[in-house]
Amino acid sequence: MPAATSGSTMLGEEPLMKIEHAFWMEGSTHAVWAVELRDDVVSACYGPLLPEDIEDDLLDAFDYREGGAAWIELNRERFGTIKPAVPEISGS
């Protein structure tokens, strides 16, 4: 399943670091979190999110924090990536 992600890289003295944002849903609770991955490791998160906050264009706007990220990384197998549904536009 394709993930909702946004990404960038950081320049500096270090080699480029891949930074991505994605929505992950915890399987047993169905809680959705926005996660920040640095070189494919969860480094920060925001959530759990309200349904109205699960939109691709918000991924870069969340106030990501390190708290909880280590637990999500250690429990990755409990999560799946999700792609927000695109609302259907009805024509008249």
> Percent of the chain at pLDDT above 90?
71
What's the pTM? 0.76
Q: Is residue 27 part of a domain?
A: yes
28, with CB counted inside 10 A (0-12, 13-18, 19+), is exposed
pLDDT in tens, 7-45: 555 555 667 889 999 999 999 999 999 999 999 999 999
Residue 26 placed within a domain: yes
Q: How far apart are CA 24 and CA 84, in angstroms?
A: 11
pLDDT of residue 16: 85
Task: Identify the domain containing residue 61 by its residue range.
Answer: 5-82
Per the structure, the count of domains in the chain is 1
